[in-house]
Amino acid sequence: MKLSAVACPNCGGDLVEKNGVYICSYCGSELREKTLSDQEALLAALGEVKQEMLSNARRMLYDAVHAEDVSSEKVIAGAREVKKYISDDFMANFYAAACEEDVRSVNHFLERADVAKQDKFFLSSVCDFMLRSLEKRNVGALKDFIDRAHRSGIFTSGEYTKYTSRIEEEAEKLDKGVYDADLPRDVFIAYSSKDMAEVNELTDFLEGEGFSCFVALRNLRHGKGAAENYQRLLETAMRSCKSVVFISTGNSRDRSCDALGVELPYFRDHLPEIYRVEYRPASDNGKTTMGAKYLLEKFFENLEYARTPEDVLKRLLDHEYGFDKTTQAPAQSPKVTQAPVLAQKSQPQPQPKSISKIESDYDCFLCVKISDGNGGVTQDSIDAEYIYDLLQSEGYKPFYAERDLLNAVGADYDTFIQHALLTSRCMVVVCSNEEYLQSWLKNEYMQFLQRINDGQMDKDSIAIAYCGMPIEHFPGWNGRVQGIDLSHSDADQRIVNFVESNCALNRLKR
C-alpha cells in the first residue's frame, strides 16, 4: 500500500507499507507509526501547496547531504528551506549545526537532543553523517549521544558497539595519540559525565587556544575489554598532565562522581604539586554535600579560581611556570597567591596532646571506624573530620580520637577515650555501613548507650550520621535513633542543632 497522504519526513519521498513498516521509496527510511502520526498532525495544519513545498525542501536537503562532495552551503540552504515550514525539525536543525564553522554548534545540538523522542533512522543518520568527517572535538559529544540512544533502548547493543567502534577507528586516524594515556598534555579535565555541555565548551575553548586536554570520555577507550585497564590508564593520564581543572558543579561535587571520589584524591595523594584550578561554570547550582565540602577543601589547599573559560585560560597563562611546549611539566610546586574558594572556614591545625592536658569536658563524642581494612581510611572517617572542624568553628568542643590523640598510646589512649565518653554530653556515630557497627566503634557507642540506660544521659543524646541509606538496626538499642543524612544540603545545620540541644549549658558556661 502506498501512503500518499504523508511524505517521508526525511527526504519528502513517498512511503510504502511493507509488513507493517513504512519505507520511503526514495531514501529507504523505515518509520514508526508514532513518527507518521506526528507527521500527519503536522501536515493537517498545512495547506496542500505548503505540503508540496515542504516535500521539495526535504528532497533538496537530502540530496545536498548525500552528494558525493558535500557542500556545507547547500546543506545549510536546504536546512533553512525546511525550517521555513517546521522551525524545530530535528534533522534540519542537526544538519545546519553540523555544517557550521564553529564545531561547538553541533556539540551543543548533540548534547541537548532528546533522543528518546526520535526515530532510530534519524539517530543513525546523525551518527553516519558525523562519522563521514569526524573532528577530534566532536568525539566526546557524539559518544555521549550514542550512549543516550542506547540507554533509551533505541539503539541495540549491536548498533551501540558498531558506532562506538567506528568512532574509535576514525579518532585514531585523526590523531594517533587520542587514546594514548602516556601522551603529555597540558590539562587534565576532572568532571561529571552529567556536565558534558560544560566539559565540551571548556575543552573546545582551551584546545582552540593551543592547550591540549585530557577528557576521559574522549581519550580512554570504552566498551568490551576496556574496563579492566580503565583505572590504570586513568592514573597514567593524570601523571602525564601538567595541571588539573576541576569543573565544579552540583553533579561533580557528589561523592558518587569519580572526579570527586577517585581523581581528586589521587592528585592529592600522589601528585600534590600539580597546578590546580577550580572552574565553576554559570550553570552551577552551588549545592555541595558535607562530605564533598571536606574533600574539596583538602584537595584545594592551593588553587586558582575561575568562573568562565576565559578565566581558566588566564590562570593557565599566568601560572608562573607556564606551558612551554618545549619543556616538561613543572619540576616544583607553583606559587599560588589566591585563597581557597571552597574553604568556608579556616581549618584548625591539630596539636599533639599529652596525658596531662585532658580537657575538662567535651560536648560531642564522634564515634567512627577509621581503617577500611585495605590500608586506607573509610569515607566515614573523612566525614568525621569535617564534622569535627564544623563543630569547632561553631564554638563547640568535639572529641575525635584521630585529632585529639595524636601521640597517646597504650594506657594514655584508653584513659582519654574513657574520659571523653564520660564527659561528652552527646554522641554522633558516623556510619554508612552497617557492618562497621560490629567493629571497635561498637565498644564505644555501647558504653555511651549504657549511660543512657542508667539514666545519666537523655535518650535523644545519641544520633547516627550516614550518607544515603539509613542504618536499619542499631545493636543494643530499642527504638529509633535520630538520623542525619550527610548527603542532604541541610546536614551541617542539623548536626549543629543536635549538639546545641544537648550542650547549650556547656557552651554558656564557657
Residue 179: its pLDDT value, please?
72
Q: How many CA atoms lie within 13 A of 65 on its CB side?
A: 26
From the list 301, 341, 294, the residue with the least C-alpha distance to 465 is 294
pLDDT digits (tens, 9 = 90+) for 64-99: 887 766 788 888 999 998 888 888 888 889 988 888
In the CATH scheme, what architecture does the domain 185-318 have?
3-Layer(aba) Sandwich (3.40)
Higher pLDDT, 75 or 2: 75
Higher pLDDT, 199 or 469: 199
Residue 279: its pLDDT value, please?
92
What is the rounded distance in angstroms from the CA atom of residue 167 to the CA atom of residue 150? 15
pLDDT score of 446 more than 50: yes
pLDDT range class, residue 330, cuts 50, 70, 90: very low
pLDDT digits (tens, 9 = 90+) for 390-415: 999 888 999 998 888 765 544 466 67
Residue 440: its pLDDT value, please?
65
Residue 201: its pLDDT value, please?
92
Residue 161: its pLDDT value, please?
92
pLDDT digits (tens, 9 = 90+) for 332-379: 333 333 333 333 333 343 443 444 445 568 899 999 888 776 766 788
Q: Give the H/E segment covering residue 429.
A: strand 426-430
Residue 510: its pLDDT value, please?
53
From the list 389, 382, 380, the residue with the least C-alpha distance to 468 is 380
Q: What is the mean pLDDT of residues 458-462?
A: 88
The DSSP line for 332-362 is SPPP--SPPSS--SPPPPP----GGG--S--
pLDDT score of 468 more than 80: no
Q: Answer whether 0.75 is exceeded by the pTM.
A: no
Q: Which three cell numbers stand for residue 119?
A: 526515530
Q: Which three cell numbers stand for residue 309?
A: 573559560
pLDDT score of 388 more than 70: yes
Q: What is the mean pLDDT of residues 212-231?
A: 77
| Helix extents (H) in 152-258 | 157-174, 196-208, 216-219, 227-240, 258
Quote the mean pLDDT of the chain.
77
CATH topology of domain 355-509: Rossmann fold (3.40.50)
Max mean pLDDT range (139-153, 321-335, 439-453, 464-478)? 139-153
pLDDT digits (tens, 9 = 90+) for 229-285: 888 899 999 999 999 999 998 888 877 788 888 888 888 888 888 888 989 898 886
Residue 244: its pLDDT value, please?
94
pLDDT score of 40 more than 80: no
413 within 8 A of 422, measured Cβ to Cβ: no
Residue 439: its pLDDT value, please?
61
Q: What is the mean pLDDT of residues 410-439?
A: 79
Other C-beta atoms closer than 10 Å to the C-beta of 401 total: 19
Residue 212: its pLDDT value, please?
87
Structural domain spans, the chain: 1-94, 100-176, 185-318, 355-509
pLDDT digits (tens, 9 = 90+) for 144-154: 999 999 999 99
What is the rounded distance in angstroms from the CA atom of residue 470 to the CA atom of residue 472? 6
Residue 498: its pLDDT value, please?
93
What is the rounded distance in angstroms from the CA atom of residue 454 to the CA atom of residue 421? 14
155 within 8 A of 149, measured Cβ to Cβ: yes
Residue 497: its pLDDT value, please?
92
421 within 8 A of 448, measured Cβ to Cβ: yes
Q: How many CA atoms lie within 13 A of 224 on its CB side?
A: 6
Q: What is the mean pLDDT of residues 138-146?
A: 89
Residue 63: its pLDDT value, please?
85
Q: How many CA atoms lie within 13 A of 166 on its CB side?
A: 17
Residue 30: its pLDDT value, please?
73
Q: Indicate the range of 163-172, 180-189, 390-399 predicted with least confidence.
A: 163-172
What is the rounded distance in angstroms from the CA atom of residue 30 to the CA atom of residue 27? 9
